[in-house]
Structure 1
Amino acid sequence: MEVLPLQSRDRTGGRLYIVSTGPGDLQQMTPRALKALAEADSVIGNAFYLDLVEPLLAGKEVITSSMGREVERAKKALERAEHETVAMVSGGDAGVYGMASIVLEVVERSGSSVPVEVVPGVTAALSAASRLGSPLSGDFVTLSLSDLLTPWEVIEERLDLAFRMGVPVALYNPRSNGRPENLAKAVAIARRHATPTTPVGVVKNAFRKGEEILVTTLEAFEDRLDFVDMRSIAIVGGEESRLWRRDADVRGIITPRGYHRKYVY
C-alpha cells in the first residue's frame, strides 16, 4: 500500500492548514505554525483562540466561530480552501482534543482533493507540566472529563483503568459550569487506587494572562476543586511522583524516570 502525503505542493489552487497555536503565548508557537499563519489568506477559529494570535492576523480575513459549531467551521474552512489558503486555528495541539480530527473527517467524507497539513503544537498537558516541574517524565495518560462527545460511563471506565496503572494522569476539560461534578467523580476514582499524599498540580491559563498554579495532594485537592475551570489542566501524579521541595517551600512535582535505580547522583 502506498501512503501519499497529506499535502501536495504540485497542486494549484488553495490549501488548508490546521494550525496548532500551543498554550496561547506567541513565543510558544512553532516556526511552522507562524509560517502557516503568515501564508494564509483567511483564518478561521474559535474567538478565544483567534484573540490569542491576533497580532499575527493583520491583513487577513478573520472568521470567528463559537464553541459547539466545530462541524460548521470545518466545512466552511474546506469550502474556502478550494480557492485560497486557509488556516484553521486550534489551541494547544490540534490533534489532541482539537480540530484536526473533525476537519480531516469532513475532508474525507467530501472526497475533496484540497491539500491539508496538520501543524503540530504544544498540547495543554505539556505546557501545564512545564509550569509544575516534571510530573510527566515517563509514561502517562491523558483523559478528557467532557462528556459532550463521550458518554460519562465510558470516561469513568477509562479513569478507573488509568489510575490502576499507577502512572500520572492529565485531566483535560476538568470542570465546567454545567458539569462541575465530573471532576469530583474523577478524584473519587483516583482515591480508590492512589494514596492520599499523591501530588496533584493544577495550572490555569498556562502561559497566558491570569496564569495561576496550585500544587497540593490528592486528599487536600478535594477541598480545592472550585479552583479548577475549563481553562485548567489538572495532573494527578503516579506511584513514584513526589512534591518538589526547596527547604520548606513546595516548588512543583517531580516524577522520576528511574535514573536513581541505575546511577549515583
Structure 2
Amino acid sequence: MDVSPLQSHDKRGKLYIVGTGPGDLLHITPRALKALAEAECVIGNGIYLDLVMPVIAGKEVIRSSMGREVERASRALDLARDRTIAMVSGGDAGVYGMAGIVLEVAESSGSTVEIEVIPGITAALSAAARLGSPLSGDYVTISLSDLLTPLEEIERRLDLAFQMGVPVVLYNPRSRGRPHNLETAIGIARRHLPDETPVGVVRNAYRDGEERLITTLGEFNEHISFVDMHSIVFVGGEETRIWRNETDERGIITPRGYHRKYVY
C-alpha cells in the first residue's frame, strides 16, 4: 500500500502595508518594491494604485475608493489569511495612512494574519525637499481634514502648535467640501506669528504638474486658491527664513542652531 505524506492546507498568508512615498517610483524604497513583487494581490485606493501600476502589472488588483478604509482593511486581512497581499498607502502608511486602521481592525477582529508595515517618504518630507530645508529641527504636522477629527479639536491643536514657534506642516489643507479650514488655520497662525513668517506650498510633489509657491503669512490669503488636496502647506517658525541669492528666492530654511555654536 502506498502511503503519501499528509499535506497541510493551512497555508500561512501575509499582509504588507506598503508606503509608496510621493508617487514617483524613484522615491519608493527597495523594500517596498520587493513587497509589491512578492504580493499575489495588491489592494488600495485607485489614486495610489495608478502611481505604482508599472511595478504591479499582471497582478490581481483590487481598487477601493476614499471613505471605505475600514472595508478595505477588513478585506485585506481576510484575503491575507492564506495569500500574500500588499496594501498600498501613499506617503508613509503610518502617517495619515492605512497602517493604523488595519492594525485596529486586526486587533478588534482577533486576526492572526502576519502584518508588516513598510515605511515610505511622507508628504511633509518630500515636499520639504522641494522647498529647501524648512524642517531642519522640531516641527509639527496637523491634518486639516475634519472627517475623523472635530474641527474644534483641530483648532485647539493649531493654536497650541503655533504658540511653540516651530514650523507647522498642514496636511489635507483645502478641498471643495471644506474650503475654509485653511483660512481658519492661517488666522490662528497670525495670532502668534509675524506677517513676515515664510509660508511655502508644494503641489503634486514629485508628480506630474508639480508646482511650488513661496510667500509670507501676511500675503498668503492672496494665494489661497493655489492650494488644493494635492498640496502641502508649510508655515515657518520663529527662525524660519526665505533663502535668497542676488537674483531670486531659492527656498526656505529653518536654521537648526549651528550659527549659535560655530562660525561659518
Give 2:54's aligned amino acid: P
Q: Distance in 2 between matches of 1:241 and 1:86?
A: 43
> Which residue in 1 is equivalent to 2:22?
23
Cα offset, 1:222, TM superposition:
1.1
Match of 1:38 in 2: 37
**Aligned equivalents of 2:230, 2:82: Cα separation in 1:** 35
1:58 deviation in Å? 1.6
Moved more, 242-251 or 167-176: 242-251
Deviations 1:116-147 (A, max 9, x none): 00000000000010000000000000000000
- TM-score, normalised to structure 1's length? 0.95
Number of residue equivalences: 255
Match of 1:227 in 2: 226
Deviation at 1:12, TM superposition (A): 4.5
Partner of 1:162: 161
Which residue is equivalent to 1:252? 251
Tell me the distance in 1 between the aligned counterparts of 2:153 and 2:210. 31
Partner secondary structure for residue 131 of structure 1? helix
* 2:209 counterpart residue number: 210
- Percent identical across equivalent pairs? 72
- TM-score of the superposition, structure 2-length normalised? 0.95
Whole-angstrom distance in 1 between the partners of 2:156 and 2:58:
48
1:175 aligns with 2:174: yes
1:67 aligned partner, one-letter code? M
Q: Residue 74 of structure 1 corresponds to which residue in structure 2?
A: 73
Deviations 1:98-125 (A, max 9, x none): 0000000111111111100000000000
Alpha-carbon distance between aligned partners in 2 of 1:92 and 1:235, rounded to the nearest angstrom: 17
CA distance in 1, matches of 2:235, 2:65: 30
Aligned residue for 1:253, secondary structure, equals strand
How far 1:246 moved relative to its partner? 1.2
Structure 1 counterpart SS, 2:201: strand
Distance 1:222 1:248 in 2: 25
The Cα of 1:55 is off from its aligned counterpart by: 0.2
User: Which residue is equivalent to 2:3?
Assistant: none
Match of 2:64 in 1: 65
Greater CA radius of gyration, 1 or 2?
Answer: 2
Once the 2 structures are TM-superposed, how far is the Cα of residue 248 of structure 1 from its aligned partner? 3.3
Q: Deviations over 1:223-247 (max 9, x none)?
A: 1110000010000000000001011
* CA offset digits 1:176-221 (Å, max 9, x no partner): 1111000000000000001101000000000000100000101111
Gaps of 5+ in 1: 1-10
SS at match of 2:127: helix
Letter in 2 for 1:45: G
Q: Partners of 2:14 and 2:233 in 1: how far apart?
A: 36
Instruction: For 2:29 and 2:11, locate their aligned partners in 1 and report how far apart those are by CA, in whole Å.
Output: 26
Q: Which stretch shifts more, 51-60 or 163-172? A: 51-60
Alignment partners' CA distance in 2, 1:50 and 1:193: 41
Q: 1:149 maps to what in 2?
A: 148
Amino acid of the residue matched to residue 234 of structure 2?
I
Instruction: Please show how residues 111-150 of structure 1 align to structure 2 within 5 Å.
Output: 111-150=110-149
Letter in 1 for 2:110: G
- The amino acid across from 1:14 in the alignment is G
**What's the CA shift string for 1:241-262, capped at 9, x where partnerless?**
0001011301110000000000
Structure 2: how far apart are the matches of 1:264 and 1:127? 30
